[in-house]
Chain A
Amino acid sequence: MSRRWMLLFLLLVLIGAAAGRTALRRAPEFSREAVIRTGVANDLLIGEARGRQGLIGSLYWAPLPTLLAMPLIRLPAPFGGEWAFVVMAMLAAAFLCAFLAVWLRRTGLPALAAAAVATALFCSPPILQPLLQGSSAPLFGLLTMAGVIFLLHWWESGELRSLAYLSLTVMLVMLTRYQGALLFLLALAVVLLHLRLSRKRPHYAEATLTVFVTPPLYALATWAVANWLIMGDPFYFLRGLAVNRQTGSDWLALLTDGCDWPCALCLSLVPLLAWLVARLLPQQRALWTRLPVFAAALLLWSGKVECASLRVTPADRELPQVVSYLNAEHQGDWIVVAGYRGYEVARLMRDNGGAGLQHSLSFYLDQVLERTHSRRVFLLIPQPQGADRWEDINMRYPDLFDTDATFTSHEKSWPHWRLVRIVRLDEADFSDIIFREGR
């Protein structure tokens, strides 16, 4: 670890801290992800089963960002709560940008230019803005970029360290966003191609593949074991894929949901171009030969690269209004929210007081009825679009937003939310529903 690298890392951390301080002076706006993950982390810390379920129970809310922020979550602002995600993502981003600078330097870019590119990337809106809102999207993009760097380096040098770090990076990307599996497949294809081209000693291919696939497979296996122990089903976290396919979502939607691919691709383009330029024009040291590298870095400043993870959906915009309504009209009633949206609802309700909230990550009618006897019970359902397709209530009852089930009656609708009342009958009348749920 060179001194220059450390200096650049510290400079980026300082820039991040200054930006964070500015954000703190204004009312901080945290991303939906930060709010939800903070809720999960807090549940974990107080030993709530919901926290454990929230950590591992959904492919969509992969566990790594939550785990990274856990050590800070109890600290006061500007380090704890939602800020923990800002701080951890900021440190990780600074580390990865400084790492990029080292790589660019190795491809022949002058040190100052390499540092400038790394700083420009770090400060670009699609990176810094989500960082300040506690989103893990930049982490996904930067890890993807690091994966590309290790892949290129391994392809060229065959160094074991690069192969190991590629494999570990792929594992981390997959634990940040499930779409990271694409990087795994891409890297696997490159590794297989390399093995096809190389004629090494017996067992070389087997050993190389073992080194490459062990970390990602271990991560998946651990995730599955955690699901088996906590949810009773090792594949519980994967059910969103099947349900979303059944309800007509195309693969493209599944691959892009909440994932900043444009940003990740732009970031990956920088080392890729630097590598290509260094290979194609090895004698040319002039800066103009590096123009594609600068262009790729500046692309992030062009305003053309959208932050999908920070996109405010109509359902997001409506939610405060929905919660205000609930607080005003349903004082004394139970409002059931089944899914990660519950953490946002809880946060808004905490601020405003009012209706009682029953928040769980899985919807089991019998448990709801048990917990809420003697009061009216309502179920709040987000429209199954985008990330809300992964909410438990929409996975169990994909049509409930549009049509009533046997145990619900319509109460109120908004364009992107629906409130239904759970009809309380004799327990016996629900036995068939409970039976159908497999409970």
Chain B
Amino acid sequence: MTKRHDLPAEKLAELGISSEEWDSVYRIARERPEDCAWRVLTPGQWVALAALLILLGVGLALDHAATLTILNGLFVAFFLVLVFYKLVLIHLSLGRPREFRITPEQVDSLDDATLPLYTILVPLYRETESIPRLLSGLEALDYPKEKLQVLLLLEEDDPATIEAARARDLPPYVRPLVAPNSFPKTKPKACNLGLARAAGEFVVVYDAEDRPEPDQLKKALYAFRQCGSEMVCLQAKLNFFNQRQNVLTRLFTLEYSMWFDLFLPGIDDLHAPVPLGGTSNHFRTEALRRLGGWDPYNVTEDCDLGLRIAREGLETRILDSTTWEEACSDSGFWIRQRSRWVKGYVQTYLVTMRHPTRLARRIGLVRSIGFHLMVGGTPLSLLICPLYWILTLLWFVFRWQAVAEYFPFPIILWGLVCLFAGNFIFIYATLLAAYRRGYYDLVKYALLAPVYWVLMSIGAWKGCLQLITRPNYWEKTKHGFDLAAHYVEPAEQKGGQAP
């Protein structure tokens, strides 16, 4: 495996990268292969999977009705626990969550002279059109520019973006860093290279199209200063600037609002592991280096890193500051993006489950349940939901009696609770999330959430199948659809204050 990472010294020198920097990109794969997703399953996991499949096969052969009924019962129980857990998260986050809420006065109290160097990593791949607004976003940051180090992480096989970056008159605090063309071609690989070059005391990752709130760095810094060294990461909230571009972006916005404004603050309250979102993760640089950086083979390296932080007994907290991103407005690209997320969640779950008890030992059994439900449970629910939708249709509309065989009491009772109460709770949570964000005009769109779930399930199935065929393939999210559509957010609808 290591050999695949080796590159000629001349090649590295040509790109201005030292061999130490390049080595650090794959540190986690080299030093902690058990924490790396370079292979999907370990031999032990293969054996466990085979044993499960054999058990299932034998069960189906001996008594298919009983086996399917048991399986059904397990799924229903899983859904019930998932619904209950999410209810708890919503209850907590609608109250007074533990997340960091830094006031403008607290931000103002920071003395510019004492601010540390802050490194911003911006991975860019085939995103020439994003560069102008990226630079204007960076310029808008309320942080002394002489204390900023911005690294544009470019890819060697993307000459157009490299050219576009070089053609711009980049401010002195912004520097391009070109990653050599190598396997795997992922964002975390570029980020690791950036981390090796980072000189700041703190480091944050932004995507090219991100528009962080101008005082976000100062807020993060203030929050870091309130906590001990065990708090190594802050996740800022993400939301979209093109919410109202079309129905898909509206629904996507609602989902993000639910995730970042309802679920993550609740997870923070429970002290459970936080599956980090793609960008706006602020780290203590040294702590991140000790953790080994990002896993270059994991396609949701953010979620994986959040889990690794928890496994090491360190802490991630939520910061009440928003970074505005572009919502994917094209259903095809949306499904590709979702398939990568689900694939990455499954990768992360499998990596963590290589030592099933390690997380529970470190953070406690109850808190580790949050990991199983959010990281393992989210893909599972998306995968099995279509099956239940079909069964519901067969039973209620076509009165197909065979369905009843697999739903004896009390499975039918709890199944109906999931159907009528569980689904309602998720729709209502979506509605509450929109309201909480101040997207009052989007509240009614929450009622369309079931349509959106169908898309999510399609993406989940695509991702899981791709995990078998191309486990480390990075489905690139295409950006700039809002520019192509000449979409301008109506001034009177901008809304979206921090909840």
Chain A residues engaging chain B, CB cutoff 8 angstroms? 44-45, 47, 70-71, 159-161, 164, 201-204, 206-208, 210-211, 214-215, 218, 222, 229
Nearest A residue to B438 by beta-carbon distance? A201
**Please, how many angstroms separate the alpha-carbon atoms of A207 and B493 in the complex?**
14
Determine which of A47, A202, A229 lies in contact with B440 in the assembled complex, contact meaning CB atoms within 8 Å: A202
B18 smallest CB distance to A (angstroms): 52
Flag whether B336 is at the interface (Cβ < 8 A): no
Question: Would you call B432 and A160 a contact (CB within 8 A)?
Answer: yes
Min CB distance B265 to A, Å, is: 13
A71 and B413 in contact (CB under 8 A), knowing A207-B435, A229-B396? yes
Q: CB < 8 Å: which of B95, B410, B492 contacts A161?
A: B95
Question: In the complex, are the beta carbons of A210 and B443 less than 8 A apart?
Answer: yes
List the interface of chain B (C-beta within 8 A of A).
91, 94-95, 396, 404, 409-410, 413, 420, 424, 428, 431-432, 434-436, 438, 440-441, 443-444, 447, 492, 495
| Complex contact A45–B409 (CB within 8 A) | yes
A159 to B94, CA, bound (A): 8
16 A-B residue pairs with CB within 8 Å: A70-B413, A71-B413, A159-B94, A160-B432, A160-B436, A164-B428, A201-B440, A202-B441, A202-B492, A203-B441, A207-B440, A207-B444, A210-B444, A211-B431, A214-B431, A215-B424
The one of A47, A201, A207, A218 that contacts B443, using a Cβ cutoff of 8 Å: A207
Q: Are A207 and B420 in contact (CB under 8 A)?
A: no
CB A325 to nearest CB in B, in angstroms, measures: 36
Say which residue of B91, B396, B434 sits within 8 Å of A207 (CB atoms).
B434
Q: Is the CB of B438 within 8 A of A211?
A: no
**Are A214 and B428 in contact (CB-based, < 8 A)?**
yes
Which single member of B404, B420, B435, B492 contacts A211 (CB below 8 Å)?
B435
A70-B413, A160-B436 are contacts. A201–B95 as well, Cβ < 8 Å?
no
Residues in chain A near residue B432, CB distance under 8 A: 160, 164, 211
How far apart sit A408 and B231, CA to CA, in the bound complex (Å)?
82
Residue among B94, B404, B434 with most chain A CB within 10 A: B94
A47, A215, A218, A222 interface centre (most CB from chain B within 10 Å): A218
A197 to B91, CA, bound (A): 28
Q: A374 to B293, alpha carbons, bound, how many Å? A: 85
Enumerate chain A residues within 8 angstroms of B413, measured Cβ to Cβ: 44, 70-71
Interchain CA distance A71-B441 in the complex, whole Å:
40
Smallest CB gap from A209: residue in B: B443
Chain B residues contacting A215 (CB-CB under 8 Å) are: 424, 428
Other-chain residue from A71, A201, A210, A229 in contact with B431 (beta carbon distance below 8 A): A210
**A207 vs B444: C-alpha distance when bound (angstroms):** 7
Residues of A within 8 A of B428 (CB): 164, 214-215
Q: Which residues of A contact B434 (CB under 8 A)?
A: 207
For the complex formed, measure the closest distance between the CB of A68 and the CB atoms of chain B, giving whole angstroms: 11
Question: What chain B residues lie within 8 Å of A47 (beta carbons)?
Answer: 404, 409
> In the complex the two chains form, what is the Cα distance from A187 to B440 in whole Å?
21
Measured CB to CB, the nearest residue on chain B to A203 is B440
Q: How far is the CA of A45 from the CA of B444 in the complex (A)?
A: 38
Q: Are B443 and A211 in contact, CB atoms less than 8 angstroms apart? A: yes
Q: With the chains together, A102 CA to B12 CA distance in Å?
A: 65
- Which residues of chain A come closer than 8 Å to B441, judged between CB atoms? 202-203, 206-207
Q: Give, as a whole number of angstroms, the nearest-CB distance from B498 to chain A.
A: 14
Name the residue on B nearest A205 (C-beta). B440
In the complex, what distance in Å separates the CA atom of A211 from the CA atom of B420? 18
Q: Which residues of B contact A202 (CB under 8 A)?
A: 440-441, 492
Contact call A71/B440, Cβ cutoff below 8 A: no
Please name all residues of chain B whose beta carbon is closer than 8 Å to the beta carbon of A160 when the two chains form the complex. Answer: 94, 432, 435-436
A residues less than 8 Å from B443 (CB atoms): 203, 206-207, 210-211
B99 CB → nearest A CB, Å: 15
Tell me the minimal C-beta distance from A150 to chain B in angstroms: 12
Partner of A164, one of B94, B396, B404, B409: B94
**Knowing A164-B94, A211-B432 touch, does A71 contact B410 (C-beta < 8 A)?**
yes
Contacts of A211 in B (CB 8 A): 431-432, 435, 443
Instruction: List the 8 closest pairs (A to B, CB-CB), nearest first.
Output: A203-B440, A207-B440, A161-B94, A207-B443, A203-B441, A210-B443, A204-B440, A45-B409
Inter-chain CA distance A160–B428, complex, in Å, is: 12
Instruction: Output the least CB separation between A50 and chain B (Å).
Output: 15
Residues of B within 8 A of A203 (CB): 440-441, 443
Q: Which residue on B lies nearest to A159, using beta carbons? A: B94
A211 to B428, CA, bound (A): 8
Cα–Cα distance between A161 and B91 once the two chains are bound (Å): 8
C-alpha gap A56/B12 in the complex (Å): 73
In the bound assembly, the distance between CA atoms of A44 and B436 in angstroms comes to 40
Once bound together, how far apart are the Cα atoms of A215 and B413, in whole Å?
20
Cα distance, A222 to B424, chains bound together (Å): 10
Contacts of A210 in B (CB 8 A): 431, 443-444
What distance in Å separates the Cβ of A48 from its nearest Cβ neighbour in chain B? 12
Instruction: Please give, as numbers and ranges, the residues of chain A lying within 8 Å of B440 by CB-CB distance.
Output: 201-204, 206-207
The distance from the CB of A372 to the nearest CB of chain B, in whole angstroms, is 27
* A229 contact set on B, CB distance < 8 A: 396
Residues of chain A with a CB closer than 8 A to B495's CB: 201
Q: Chain A residues near B410 (CB, 8 Å)?
A: 70-71
Residues of B within 8 A of A214 (CB): 428, 431, 447
Question: In the assembly, what is the distance between CA of A210 and CA of B440, in Å?
Answer: 10
A sample of 17 more A-B contacts (CB under 8 A), given A201-B438, A201-B495, A215-B424, is A44-B409, A47-B409, A71-B410, A160-B432, A160-B435, A160-B436, A201-B440, A202-B441, A202-B492, A203-B441, A206-B440, A207-B441, A207-B443, A207-B444, A208-B435, A214-B447, A222-B420
Closest CB of chain A to B262's CB: distance in Å? Answer: 10
Query: Given the complex, which residues of B lie within 8 Å of A45, measured CB to CB?
Result: 409
Query: Which residues in B have their C-beta under 8 angstroms from that of A201?
Result: 438, 440, 495
**Distance in Å: Cβ of B407 to nearest Cβ of chain A:** 10
CA distance A164 to B427 in the complex (A): 13
Given contacts A203-B440, A207-B440, A210-B444, whether A218 and B435 have CB atoms under 8 Å apart is: no
**Assembly CA distance A203 to B436 (angstroms):** 13
Residues of B within 8 A of A164 (CB): 94, 428, 432
User: B495: shortest Cβ distance to chain A, in Å?
Assistant: 7
How far, in whole Å, are A218 and B95 apart by their CA atoms in the complex? 24
Give chain B residues whose Cβ lies under 8 Å from the Cβ of A208.
Answer: 435
Q: Which residue of B lies closest to A228 (CB)?
A: B396
**A261→B274 CA distance, assembly (Å):** 47
In the complex, residue of chain B having the shortest beta-carbon distance to the beta carbon of A162? B94
How distant is the Cα of A71 from the Cα of B412 in the complex, in angstroms?
11
Nearest CB in chain A: distance from B94 CB, A: 4
Residues on the B chain within 8 Å of A161, using CB: 91, 94-95
* Cα distance, A201 to B437, chains bound together (Å): 13
Residue of A nearest to B441 (CB): A203
A222 to B432, CA, bound (A): 20
In the complex, A139→B61 CA distance in Å? Answer: 49
Distance of A161 Cα from B87 Cα, bound (Å): 12
**CB closest chain-B residue, reference A1:** B91
Least CB distance from A423 to B in Å reads 36
Q: Tell me the bound Cα distance from A210 to B436 in angstroms.
A: 13
Output the nearest chain A residue to B409 by Cβ-Cβ distance. Answer: A45
Q: Which residues of A contact B436 (CB under 8 A)?
A: 160
What is the distance, in angstroms, from A61's C-beta to the closest C-beta of chain B? 18
Q: Which residues of A contact B396 (CB under 8 A)?
A: 229
CA of A369 to CA of B202, assembled, Å: 84
Scoring B410, B443, B495 by chain A CB atoms within 10 A of each residue's CB, the highest score goes to: B443
Chain A: minimal CB distance from B85 (Å):
16
Q: How far is the CA of A69 from the CA of B493 in the complex (A)?
A: 47
Closest to B95 in A: A161
A264 to chain B, nearest CB (A): 25
User: How far in angstroms is the closest Cβ of chain B from A252?
Assistant: 33
Cα–Cα distance between A253 and B23 once the two chains are bound (Å): 83
| Chain B residue nearest to A218 in the complex (CB) | B424
Q: Bound state CA distance, A218 and B436, in angstroms?
A: 21
What is the CA–CA distance of A70 and B435 in the complex, to the nearest angstrom?
Answer: 35
